[in-house]
C-alpha cells in the first residue's frame, strides 16, 4: 500500500523542529480566524469599517467555502499525508475551539447542535486531509480527488437550479478561482479537473451536503 501511495505522491521529510513550528502556526492561525469570525458575527454591520461591511465578511466566514478552501490549502501544501492530517486537525481544533469558547464565555449562549456538527467535522478532518494531500499527485486518483475538491468549492461559489445559475458570494468566487491555481499542475491536468468537477457539481447541485452556518 505504501508503494502504491508513493506512486501517486511521495512525502518529503522535514526536521522535527520544522514539524513542530508548522503545526503550531496552523493551530495559532485557526485560533485567530475562529475569534475573528465570531467577533465579526457578533458586531453590528454598521459598526464595522466600511470596507468590511462592503466585503460582507460576516456572511463569508459563516459559510463553509472559506473553511474548505483553507483546509485544502493546508492539506496539499503539507509535506506528507500524515503532516497534512495533523496540520488540518490542529487548524480546526484552534478555529472551532476559539469560536465556541468566545460564543459561550463572551457572547453568552450555547449553540449545542452546531457545536456538535463542527466537533464531528473536526474529528474527521484528519482523514479527509490525508486523502486530499494526494490531490497534488499523479494519475487518475489524483485527478479524481482534485475534481471532488473542485466540486465542493463550486457548490459554495455557485447556485444552480432548473431555470437559474448564479454566484452565491463574490468572495467565494475568488476562492473558486484560487482553487484552480492551488490544484494546478499542468494545463491538461487542470482542464480534466475543472471539467469533471463541474460535471459533478451539476449532478449534485440539488443535494444538501451541509447544515448551514458556523
- The residues that bridge with 158 in the sheet, in sequence order, are 167
| Spatial distance between the Cα atoms of 175 and 170, rounded to a whole number of angstroms | 9
pLDDT surpassing 90 at residue 173? yes
Q: Which secondary-structure segment (H or E) carries 74?
A: helix 65-76
pLDDT surpassing 60 at residue 208? yes
The CA dihedral of 35, 155, 120, 31, to the nearest 10 degrees, is -20
> Does the CA dihedral 167-113-67-48 come out positive or negative?
positive
Among 22-31, 57-66, 170-179, whose mean pLDDT is lowest? 57-66
| Spatial distance between the Cα atoms of 198 and 151, rounded to a whole number of angstroms | 6
Confidence band of 48 (pLDDT split at 50, 70, 90): low
Q: What are the residue boundaries of the structural domains of the chain, listed by start? A: 2-204
- The residue-averaged pLDDT of 116-132 equals 95
3-state helix, strand, coil in the chain (%, to 5): 75, 5, 20
Confidence band of 188 (pLDDT split at 50, 70, 90): very high
C-alpha to C-alpha distances, 7 to 3, 27, 72, 146, nearest whole angstrom: 6, 30, 21, 16
Among 58-72, 158-172, 192-206, whose mean pLDDT is lowest? 158-172
pLDDT surpassing 80 at residue 93? yes
Q: What is the pLDDT of residues 77-92, one digit of tens each?
A: 999 999 999 999 999 9
pTM over 0.85? The answer is: yes
Amino acid at each position: 500500500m505504501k508503494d502504491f501511495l508513493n506512486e501517486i505522491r511521495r512525502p518529503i521529510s522535514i526536521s522535527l523542529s520544522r514539524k513542530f513550528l508548522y503545526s503550531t502556526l496552523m493551530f495559532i492561525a485557526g485560533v485567530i480566524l475562529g475569534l475573528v469570525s465570531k467577533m465579526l458575527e457578533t458586531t453590528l454591520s454598521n459598526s464595522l469599517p466600511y470596507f468590511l461591511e462592503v466585503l460582507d465578511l460576516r456572511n463569508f466566514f459563516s459559510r463553509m467555502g472559506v473553511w474548505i478552501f483553507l483546509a485544502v490549502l493546508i492539506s496539499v501544501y503539507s509535506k506528507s499525508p500524515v503532516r497534512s492530517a495533523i496540520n488540518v486537525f490542529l487548524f480546526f481544533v484552534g478555529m472551532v475551539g476559539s469560536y465556541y469558547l468566545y460564543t459561550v464565555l463572551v457572547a453568552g449562549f450555547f449553540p449545542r447542535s452546531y457545536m456538535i456538527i463542527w466537533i464531528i467535522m473536526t474529528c474527521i478532518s484528519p482523514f479527509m486531509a490525508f486523502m486530499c494531500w494526494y490531490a497534488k499527485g499523479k494519475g487518475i486518483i489524483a485527478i479524481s480527488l482534485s475534481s471532488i475538491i473542485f466540486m465542493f468549492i463550486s457548490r459554495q461559489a455557485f447556485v444552480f437550479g432548473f431555470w437559474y445559475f448564479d454566484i452565491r458570494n463574490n468572495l467565494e468566487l475568488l476562492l473558486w478561482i484560487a482553487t484552480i491555481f492551488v490544484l494546478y499542475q499542468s494545463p491538461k491536468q487542470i482542464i480534466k479537473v475543472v471539467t469533471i468537477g463541474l460535471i459533478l457539481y451539476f449532478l449534485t447541485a440539488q443535494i444538501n451536503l451541509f447544515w448551514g452556518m458556523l
